[in-house]
Amino acid sequence: MSSGRDTASTPRYAGHLAGAMVVLLLSIWFSSGTLSPYACTFAYPAVLHPCGYLGNIDHPDLLGTFLMLDGAPRAGWQYSVTLRRVLFPLLAYPAMKLFGFLYGGVLFSALLNACAVIGFATFVRKEIGSRGAIACLWILASYPGIAYWAGLPYSYAIIVPACLGSAVILWYLARVNSRAQIAGLALLLGVLFLGYDLLPFFAPAAVLLLIRRRSLFDTFLAGTAMLFPTVVVNSLLDRLLGIQLINPNTVSYWIVVESYLRRPQWRAWATLLLQLPAIAAGTFLYSNFIFLPLLFLLFVVMGRRGFRALDQVELAILLGCLAVFLVLNGAPPYQARWQIRGVWIARIYQPLFVVFLLYIARAMESRDERNGLRWGLVAATALINATICFGPILLNPLADAVYYRFYRHSPPGTMIRNLERYGRRPLLVCPPNRVG
């Protein structure tokens, strides 16, 4: 592993950084307006006036958090089931207030994601090396997991930045010795959990890393610090505003937990368990848009020690994701509005991408005869993924197929049909007859 001393020249790195930022920001812009994948892959998108841009059907709920923060009358936001995901609307509030919920939110989303990519690449360059950082820059600049969410002013836009930040925090959490530093890093991790439901993925990883150091007190300290922001926010929402933690959006998870506490239907449960291998394979590929997971697997095969070469942080996050997968997909049969199992909702496991990034970054620092092949594979993956990110404006059927497998909330082909019906217009492109 490099410590950054054998890094590429600053001008060369700066050139890659600038190019990657151009691609990233363009991909976000061309994933906004009517082109937002999260909106146009849904069969009945919300049509936002006056320009006819598209939003997801949950647009009113996600707008509700901003209205709550803005002090709007309670009737305008109390219905929302996403009020506890406060971090993104709280950070984006000044931009939303200045430019409006849609324009301000997307502007902040673009800046947040760009800063997160730059920050993560800077971390990789410092801790691993420049070749790994350059590879991460291009993989993230063309990563469909940013384009899918970032073109709308929703809390989902913080998923990738929060996952990147969580991976960095875990990296240092595994290496610091001061209890003050451990508590501070864990608290920061807990703040990131306010952006989206990432606690089940990264909190167990933090616990595993600290237990590995045989420090029960440090583990307890970190666990308390990680939970503190979530407890505070939910207590405030409950006591001051009467917003309950359990709502139609979260009740399915509690139903899953309860299914383990009662006598199951053994035969039906066995049938579900037999489906786990196929679901696991599909989820692994589809949760990160097929080509990045395949790149990771190719790098593993090329590595001399394969999965044994996983760093402790990568392994901890991987085990955290696996635990969430087994709990949700291995649950006994239950009755709920949503079945949180199967490949239809592979998007839940998107946090896996940070394992791929860290592993690939470290592999890129290897100096052997396969170095050229590694660069070729990274470039090919970035190029293919770029065609997906720009897929809506290009009417690329590959993008339609890949986005469908990421989140099957509507029939296949929905993206193409919606774009043909509503047009292909990024944000700021508004037909003259719609203005006003």
CA distances from 154 to 40, 55, 115, 195 (A): 15, 10, 18, 10
Torsion of CA 262, 265, 268, 272, to 10 degrees: 20
- What's the pLDDT at 306? 67
Bridge partners (DSSP) of residue 53 are 48
Overall average pLDDT of the 57-72 stretch: 94
91 CB burial (10 A radius; 0-12, 13-18, 19+): middle
CB 117 within 8 A of CB 87: no
Residue-wise pLDDT tens digits, 222-234: 999 999 999 999 9
Separation between Cα atoms, residue 135 and residue 147, nearest integer Å: 18
CB 233 within 8 A of CB 195: no
Separation between Cα atoms, residue 226 and residue 191, nearest integer Å: 8
- Count CA atoms within 13 Å of residue 223 on its CB side: 14
Backbone region of residue 428 per phi and psi (left: phi > 0; alpha: psi in -120 to 50; beta: other values): left
Q: Is it the case that residue 131 has pLDDT exceeding 90? A: yes
- What's the pLDDT at 245? 72
Question: Which ranges of 56-198 would DSSP assign to H, the alpha helix?
Answer: 59-69, 87-99, 101-127, 130-141, 144-150, 159-173, 179-192
- What's the pLDDT at 17? 98
Q: What are the sequence ranges of the domains in the chain? A: 10-434
Residue-wise pLDDT tens digits, 281-298: 999 999 999 999 999 999
CB 30 within 8 A of CB 393: yes
Report angle CA 52, 56, 59 to the nearest 5 degrees.
90
CA distances from 176 to 108, 149, 310 (A): 32, 33, 20
Overall average pLDDT of the 88-101 stretch: 97
Residue-wise pLDDT tens digits, 321-334: 999 999 999 999 99
Tokens representing residue 153 in the block: 């002013």
Q: How confident is the model at residue 434 (pLDDT cuts 50, 70, 90)?
A: low
Separation between Cα atoms, residue 159 and residue 85, nearest integer Å: 11
18 CB burial (10 A radius; 0-12, 13-18, 19+): exposed
User: What one-character DSSP code corresponds to residue 151?
Assistant: T
What is the pTM for the complete model shown? 0.95
Tokens representing residue 150 in the block: 């970032």
Overall average pLDDT of the 47-58 stretch: 94
% residues pLDDT > 70 (the chain): 97
- What's the pLDDT at 5? 44
User: What one-character DSSP code corresponds to residue 215?
Assistant: -
Residue-wise pLDDT tens digits, 233-284: 999 988 888 887 777 777 888 899 999 999 989 999 999 999 999 999 999 9
- What's the pLDDT at 433? 66
Report angle CA 187, 190, 192 to the nearest 5 degrees.
120
CB 131 within 8 A of CB 374: no
Q: Compute the mean pLDDT over every residue in the chain, rounded to the nearest whole number.
A: 93
- Would you say the C-alpha torsion 112, 348, 235, 69 has a positive or negative sign? positive
- What's the pLDDT at 122? 97
**Is the peptide bond prior to 264 cis by the omega test (within 30 degrees of 0)?**
no
Between 308 and 431, the more confident residue is 431
Residue-wise pLDDT tens digits, 167-218: 999 999 999 989 999 999 999 999 999 999 999 999 999 999 999 877 789 9
Q: What is the DSSP string of 282-348?
A: HHHHHTTTTHHHHHHHHHHHHSSSGGGG--HHHHHHHHHHHHHHHHHHSPPP---SS---SGGGGGG
Sequence-separated (6 or more) residues with CB below 8 Å from residue 290: 402, 405
Separation between Cα atoms, residue 154 and residue 57, nearest integer Å: 12
- What's the pLDDT at 224? 96
Give backbone dihedrals phi and psi of 48, rounded to 5 degrees, phi first. -95, 125
Report the run of H or E that residue 27 belongs to, with start and end: helix 10-29
Q: How confident is the model at residue 1 (pLDDT cuts 50, 70, 90)?
A: very low
Q: Is it the case that residue 3 has pLDDT exceeding 70? A: no
Overall average pLDDT of the 368-393 stretch: 95
- What's the pLDDT at 334? 93
Tokens 């200045």: give the residue: 98
